[in-house]
Every structure is written in C-alpha cells, then in structure tokens.
C-alpha cells in the first residue's frame, strides 16, 4: 500500500469508503476489507453507520493502531458545544478514543468558519483526532481554513473522477502542503461504459475500476476512496499497486473531463465551486 504524506499526516493512498452503505453491509464489508489489506476506513456522522464501522473494526482482528480512520462532522453540529458533543458520540460509536482524521463535511456559513475551525482544533488538542481537514471546500474556503487553524489542515476531500477537472483545487492543496482525497471515483457508474477507459483497461488486462483508481493514486498527493458491497470487487479494487499507467494514458484520462462533469452539488451545502483553469 502506498502512503500519501501531507502536513505531518501519513495517509494510506487507497481508502475503503462507506457512503450510502447500510448497517448490515458495513458490518460485513469493513472487517472483510481490513482482512484483505485495506488500512484506511472512511465514514461520517451523516452516513449513520459509524457504530457498524466501529463494530467491524473491532471484529476484524486488525489492530486499531494499524488503521487510519476518518470521520466527518455534519453541518448541523458546527456550533462549538454541539461539535464537541457530536465528536464524543462518534468516538463512542466507533469504539475508539480517537480518530486519525476529522473533517468538516461541507461548508456551512450559519456558523462562523472560525468557530468551526476552533472546535476542530479543540478536539485535536484533546487528543480526540490526530489530524484535521475539510471536505467539499473551494479554494477560498481552503485558504481561510488554513489561516484560521493552529493545527495543520491535511486534506480536502472532494469529488474527483475522470469527468471533472479539479486541477485548481489540487494546485491550491499542493501549495498548502495538503493532500486531496477523491470520492465518487466511479462517477456514479459512468466510467464503466466509457470506451476510452475500456481500451486502457483491455491493454493492461485490468477492470475499468482498477484503471480509474490507479489513475487517482498515481497522481502526486491524491488519496482515493473506493466503495463496494461486493467482497470480490473489494479485492479487485485493492489490487492496483502492481502496475502503472503510462504518461500518455494518464493524460488521456485527464482529457475526459467535461465542463458539466460535477455530479455532487447539493443545494444549501455546495459552495461556489472553482472553475477549471
């Protein structure tokens, strides 16, 4: 497993995500993923499966100290007291005294960003998280978060797949010493019928999912989240560190980006997104 280093954090480059994963599937898949060799698990308060993630880790036989565990504070919990209380609840559900990375899940200007970052730093100082970060922030919000935070901001978790150009955000993250964590890598299934990706997959004798995940982790400073409720696909997703895409193939995948390629942009949560350069 390759690691990505960012502002003092060492993050396994491929994570197992649990977005929209029901409790029973989470209980089944988290220990399976860990036994396969995944060492990075991603959840969130709003996913409503933190308890099952915690149970899955506990039953996996893999030491908690060997696992990089991420969760995210939901926007309704950003006021200081609610923030701290919600983190304590997350830790109880996750059966741990700390997470490795705690993120602000989406921007929310109902609570000043300074208060959000202050609470994030407070729980970090208390040892409840080893590292802090943000998710779904544009470059202006990233810069504000970095300026407001005593603790280094280690990542911005954003939508990233072949159909969206995130070069502006990636460039800003690199300049700040941050990683980018990409979610929705399969573009809600769109990649599986893409002829260009199919051709590259055929050339390597790999699945399209493996090609996309390899494209993500082969980029400097990019962490990829994979998600599946299939044991076989989880093993396939992990098997991406024994081959490389050529510079030409990397470039060809980048050229698939479209101006309207963004999929996740919920009203009331999404910021004013950065335009591609």
Tens of pLDDT, residues 220-263: 999 999 999 999 999 999 999 999 999 999 999 999 999 999 99
CA distance 73 to 45: 6
CA distance 92 to 86: 10
Do 162 and 197 form a contact (C-beta atoms < 8 A)?
A: yes
CA distance 77 to 29: 28
What local confidence, expressed as pLDDT, does residue 246 receive?
98
Mean pLDDT of the chain: 98
pLDDT class of 60 with cuts at 50, 70, 90: very high
Does the pLDDT at position 163 exceed 80? yes
Helices (H) and strands (E) in the chain, counts: 10, 10
161 known ligand binder: no
What local confidence, expressed as pLDDT, does residue 105 receive?
98
Does the pLDDT at position 205 exceed 70? yes
What local confidence, expressed as pLDDT, does residue 276 receive?
85
Architecture of domain 10-187+221-227: Alpha-Beta Barrel (3.20)
CA distance 163 to 67: 31
DSSP 223: E
What local confidence, expressed as pLDDT, does residue 277 receive?
67
Do 79 and 123 form a contact (C-beta atoms < 8 A)?
A: no
Work out whether the CA dihedral 107, 113, 119, 120 comes out positive or negative.
Answer: positive
Q: Which residues are the active-site residues?
A: 47
């Amino acid at each position: 497993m390759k690691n990505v280093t960012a502002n003092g954090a060492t993050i396994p480059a491929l994570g197992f995500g649990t977005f929209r994963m029901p409790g029973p599937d989470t209980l089944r898949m988290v220990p399976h993923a860990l036994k396969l060799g995944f060492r990075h698990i991603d959840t969130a308060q709003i996913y409503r499966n933190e308890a099952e993630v915690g149970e899955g880790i506990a039953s996996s036989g893999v030491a908690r100290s060997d696992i990089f565990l991420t969760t995210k504070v939901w926007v309704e919990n950003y006021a200081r007291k609610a923030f701290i209380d919600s983190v304590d609840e997350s830790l109880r559900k996750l059966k741990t005294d700390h997470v490795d990375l705690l993120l602000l899940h989406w921007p929310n200007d109902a609570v000043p960003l300074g208060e959000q970052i202050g609470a994030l730093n407070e729980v970090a100082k208390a040892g409840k998280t080893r590292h802090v970060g943000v998710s779904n922030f544009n470059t202006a919000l990233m810069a504000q978060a970095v300026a407001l935070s005593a603790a280094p901001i280690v990542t911005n978790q954003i939508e990233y797949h072949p159909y969206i150009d995130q070069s502006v955000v990636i460039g800003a993250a690199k300049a700040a010493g941050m990683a980018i964590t990409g979610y929705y890598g399969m573009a809600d299934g769109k990649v599986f019928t893409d002829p260009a990706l199919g051709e590259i997959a055929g050339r390597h004798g790999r699945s399209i999912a493996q090609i996309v995940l390899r494209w993500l982790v082969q980029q400097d400073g990019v962490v990829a989240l994979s998600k599946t409720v299939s044991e076989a696909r989880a093993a396939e997703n992990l098997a991406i560190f024994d081959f490389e895409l050529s510079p030409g193939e990397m470039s060809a995948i980048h050229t698939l980006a479209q101006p309207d390629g963004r999929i996740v942009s919920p009203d009331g949560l999404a910021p004013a997104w950065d335009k591609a350069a």
